[in-house]
Amino acid sequence: MKITVIGTGYVGLVSGACLAEMGNDVLCLDLDPEKIRILKEGGIPIHEPGLDAVVARNVEAGRLHFTTDVAEAVRFGTIQFIAVGTPPDEDGSADLQYVLSAARNIGRLMTDYKVVVDKSTVPVGTADKVKAAIAEELAARGLSLEYAVVSNPEFLKEGAAVEDFMRPDRIVVGADDERAVHLMRALYAPFQRNRDKLVVMDVRSAELTKYAANAMLATRISFMNELALLADRMGADIEMVRQGIGSDPRIGYHFLYAGCGYGGSCFPKDVKALIRTARENGQALQVLQAVEDANDVQKMVLVDKIVARFGEDLSGRRFALWGLAFKPNTDDMREAPSRVIIAELFKRGATVTAYDPVAMTEAKRIFGDEPRLAYAEKPMDALEGADALVIVTEWKEFRSPDFERIRSALKQPVIFDGRNLYETELPRSFGIEYSAIGRR
């Protein structure tokens, strides 16, 4: 099938590459010439394990192409995936300007039947707006061409995006048009394997399903984070609690890890947007509002622990910080807890030496030439002479460190672990003060 992917960011590039891998002809469009230049020269503008090989293989096979030419892109695909950003507006609602501008481009330039697929995360009712934007452009051209608008939200996780796309738990397709459903079924047939993974529904339910999934996952995390704070006060261990409740199949083990707050480009934005949509429609989502508030508190937990140990005035103190990315296996720092922690430490007069296996370039872009933030080439280099170690991201390489070296490198042998990486007695057996989230 001939497919155009509009927006070659995270989701667009992964979707485009994976759809090419399934044998389709894919053209990826982006308005950012720098991104397209990098891709055309054989590079990858994001860090995502395994993606480079899929892109290279399909470019080589002639199935995957990149362009900044909007007219060429609209002409190319019968299926037009819209995978542009939907960042939060000032009021928390999703900013639809990129989605609607992509839709208008399609209406302005299409000459035959198109299935327009909303892959971006968009509020309920967006497909109607996309439909209307295309209709308006066609009317302005005096044309009445046929087209369908489908909702096909994406559930991939950064760091495991290729695997998630190629082996999805489910594929949600929201459509009110038989011909479009037929085409989507054919497109996703290779993903079906042992069972029918396609969940076909009406467009509005599909749009809401995406927010419901992220909101549910964020709720589990905030719930466990609040229980971890209680566990800290009561001398209980949240990891034991996780195992205890996770063994109930109605609850399950996933997404119950307490930590220093959820971040990333999706949970914070989508929780906000759903709260906003609900408010606009006269329905308060009280649970979800609490999920967001609890997460703001949680991003401060390590700072609170540091202040409790070293006092409110941290001037002259330097902290080693392991992990800048919002989670492992990505260089993405959008809404990362590290950003809040670093800013709060600065506010109290401290400086930071950070290490992250892949996100330091991104951190330099964000923090510029901030003199209070230094970078270490190796995890252990960050520790030399620092007052304590603060762990913010659970990169694999932090999981079994040389505790003896940590103890001797730090001025004070203290670890604040925001990701509960170690059995608590292990660092303590080396004479290290170890403070984690909700652990004994």
Ligand X SMILES: NC(=O)c1ccc[n+]([C@@H]2O[C@H](COP(=O)([O-])OP(=O)(O)OC[C@H]3O[C@@H](n4cnc5c(N)ncnc54)[C@H](O)[C@@H]3O)[C@@H](O)[C@H]2O)c1
Q: Which residues bind ligand UPG (CB under 6 A)?
A: 121, 154-158, 214, 217, 221, 255-257, 259, 262-264, 266-267, 326-327
The DSSP letter of residue 325 is: S
Instruction: Decide if residue 72 touches ligand X (CB under 6 A).
Output: no
Instruction: Decide if residue 86 touches ligand X (CB under 6 A).
Output: yes
Q: Are 220 and 256 in contact (CB under 8 A)?
A: yes
Which of ligand UPG, ligand X, none does residue 262 bind (CB under 5 to 8 Å by kind)? ligand UPG
- The one catalytic residue in 18, 28, 260, 266 is 266
Q: 137 or 158, CB closer to ligand X?
A: 158
Q: Estimate to the nearest angstrom the gap between the alpha carbon of 87 and the chain centroid.
A: 12
Contact range with ligand X by CB under 6 A, out of 4-12, 193-201, 217-225, 393-401: 4-12
Instruction: Decide if residue 266 touches ligand X (CB under 6 A).
Output: yes
Instruction: Decide if residue 134 touches ligand X (CB under 6 A).
Output: no
Phi, psi of 88 (to 5 degrees): -70, 135
Of the candidates 3, 4, 5, 10, which one interacts with ligand X according to CB under 6 A? 10
Q: 4 or 121, CB closer to ligand UPG?
A: 121
* Paired tokens of 38: 């990098």
Instruction: Decide if residue 152 touches ligand X (CB under 6 A).
Output: no
Which of ligand UPG, ligand X, none does residue 263 bind (CB under 5 to 8 Å by kind)? ligand UPG
Give the orientation angle of helix 337-347 with respect to helix 360-367, to 10 degrees. 50
Of the candidates 3, 5, 11, 110, which one interacts with ligand X according to CB under 6 A? 11
Instruction: Decide if residue 439 touches ligand X (CB under 6 A).
Output: no
In total, the chain counts a number of residues equal to: 440
* Paired tokens of 80: 């037009």
Q: How far is the CB of 381 from ligand X (least distance, A)?
A: 31
Which of ligand X, ligand UPG, none does residue 217 bind (CB under 5 to 8 Å by kind)? ligand UPG
- A 10 A CB-CB count for 18 gives 25
Which of ligand UPG, ligand X, none does residue 32 bind (CB under 5 to 8 Å by kind)? ligand X
Q: Are 211 and 120 in contact (CB under 8 A)?
A: no
Which of ligand UPG, ligand X, none does residue 85 bind (CB under 5 to 8 Å by kind)? ligand X
Q: Are 366 and 339 in contact (CB under 8 A)?
A: yes
In the block, which residue shows the tokens 């510029």?
368
Give the type of residue at 424.
Answer: T
Contact range with ligand X by CB under 6 A, out of 79-87, 236-244, 359-367, 429-437: 79-87
Which of ligand X, ligand UPG, none does residue 22 bind (CB under 5 to 8 Å by kind)? none
What pairing do the DSSP bridges indicate for beta strands 414-417 and 64-67?
A: unpaired
Nearest alpha carbon to residue 150 among 166, 169, 186, 126: 126
Instruction: Decide if residue 427 touches ligand X (CB under 6 A).
Output: no
* Paired tokens of 385: 């002479």
The verdict on whether 28 is a catalytic residue reads: no
- A 10 A CB-CB count for 180 gives 21
- Pairwise CA distance, residues 417 & 389, whole Å: 8
DSSP one-letter string for 368-390: TT-TTEEE-SSGGGGTTT-SEEE
List the binding residues for NAD(+): 30, 35, 86, 121, 158, 269, 334
Binding site for ligand X (CB under 6 A): 6-12, 29-32, 35, 83-86, 98, 101-102, 120-121, 154, 156, 158, 265-266
Catalytic residues: 266
